[in-house]
Amino acid sequence: MKKKIVSLMLVSAMAVSMVACGSSDSGSGSSSGSTASSGDSASTESGSGASEGGDTLTVWCWDPAFNIFSMEEAAKVYQKDHPDVTVNVVETPWEDVQTKLTTAATSGDLSTLPDILLMQDNAFQKNVISYPDAFTDLADSGIDFSQFAEGKTAYSVVDGKNYGVPFDNGAVIGCYRTDILEQAGLTIDDFTDITWDQYIENGKKVLEATGKPLISMQAGECDLIMMMLQSAGSSLFNEDGTANIVNNDALKVVAETYKELKDAGVLIEVNSWDEYVGSITNGDVAGTINGCWIMASIQTAEDQSGNWGITNMPSLVGVDDATNYSNNGGSSWAVTANCQNKELAFDFLASTFAGSTELYDNILSCGAIATWAPAGDSTAYAEPNEFFGGDAVSAKIVDYATKVPSNITGVYYYEARDAVATAITNVIAGSDIETELQTAEDTVNFNMGQ
């Protein structure tokens, strides 16, 4: 089993999909020789390992405008009380992080790894389970994980141990063009704390009044499916790692709901990510439901300022533990086993991403919203956002994150997502739900070698 996992990861390391804000490497360039440094830090070549102890930490992450900017701001905050500490931030695209980690772990030579690296949340459990010797348990880090949203923290927990410090917020929000809703006699309140049945009825009113669907999604992807599923605290896997597809009652309701959305014309599917974003910013649809990072794309339509509002997502009907909250995307910081000064790495993370409202206030400018609950109480988070109708959206999103149910991703999360996406596509085309879910589970079981 372990050999099959390793083999699969070696093949697929370069094919891991990107979802969250800051998880795309578009525009970030190659990592070869590319370095972003903080303070008086010396440059390091991409691919170099951890710093040689002392007062220096080497960090791998991607996206200069988001993740790298945030880490550099963390270094500035920490250096106020620790002026002799240097943080070398090495720009490393996510695919390269995964490939370098896989190569180091399978070769048994961890010396090429940095002190700290950024890990996509949906890949965190997969990597820790597959390469446990490459990661450091954060039990002695001094970090109070209870201050983070439980659903976010769960992504980097394996066998009850914390291996990641939560970073950016992927809490799901419903975003709506309030001016379009008004034409149908609706307001943002009509989409708050509702069920999917109510959402569909509202969508029919908007469609009749304006000719616009409520929402668009990329065909063949299952982001909305996964958001719906997690909102009820359900997963594609059981705690023992076995597939949870055929007998997953919540997933059946999700599939039926998605089909109803599509059949009613309330949801339209587009062919690419660019078309998806364009359908929102061009006013082809009345809104979207996605991770809160989607606000950055929405705000590119500057002429629509003041005509947007956000609220929570609909809940599933007839499903135990259904909520109006979920997550999509995000990442967390990991301390590698190669870190030469773990006490410094622990203190740095505990004092910044797990302990500084100043840091989270500073990185709001790049759209990075905390899942660390104390940040939501700061003055900066209470500031009204004029684009979204003067609402204090940052504080609202932190609150949403605290209510997100946790889910289980495991080793084969991406393979299961793909299998379920195919199943849902076939269901929309008229295939039997039970048959398609059985095929999806059979595919996942084959991949797992069971």
Residue 190, C-beta contacts closer than 8 angstroms, at least 6 positions apart: 181, 202
Mean pLDDT computed over every residue of the chain: 89
2-169+329-380 CATH? 3.40.190.10
366 to 67, 69, 319: CA distances (angstroms): 9, 8, 37
- CA gap 128, 26 in Å, rounded: 27
Q: What share of the chain is helix, strand, coil (3-state, %, to 5)?
A: 45, 15, 40
Instruction: Domain ranges for the chain, please list them.
Output: 2-169+329-380, 172-326+408-448
- Topology (CATH) of 172-326+408-448: D-Maltodextrin-Binding Protein; domain 2 (3.40.190)
Cβ 25 vs Cβ 94: under 8 Å: yes
Winning range, highest mean pLDDT, from 12-16, 52-56, 362-366, 439-443 = 439-443
Tokens 């929102």 locate to: 280
Whether the pLDDT of residue 29 is over 80: the answer is no
Do 172-326+408-448 and 2-169+329-380 fall under one CATH topology?
yes
Instruction: Name the phi and psi angles at 397, rounded to 5.
Output: -70, -40
Q: What is the pLDDT of residues 178-237, one digit of tens each?
A: 999 999 999 999 999 999 999 999 999 999 999 999 999 999 888 999 999 999 999 999
Q: Give 450's pLDDT tier (boundaries 50, 70, 90).
A: low
> In the predicted model, is pLDDT for residue 157 greater than 90?
yes
Read off the pLDDT of residues 81-119 as tens digits, 9 standing for 90 and up: 999 999 999 999 999 999 999 999 999 999 999 999 999
* Least confident among 49-58, 178-187, 205-214, 250-259: 49-58
Q: Are strands 157-158 and 86-91 parallel, antiparallel or unpaired?
A: unpaired
Task: Examine the pLDDT at 50 and tell me if it is beyond 80.
Answer: no
pTM above 0.75, yes or no: yes
Quickly state the pLDDT bin for 43 (edges 50, 70, 90). Answer: very low
Q: For 131-135, 220-224, 231-235, 244-248, which range has the lowest pLDDT when averaged over its residues? A: 220-224
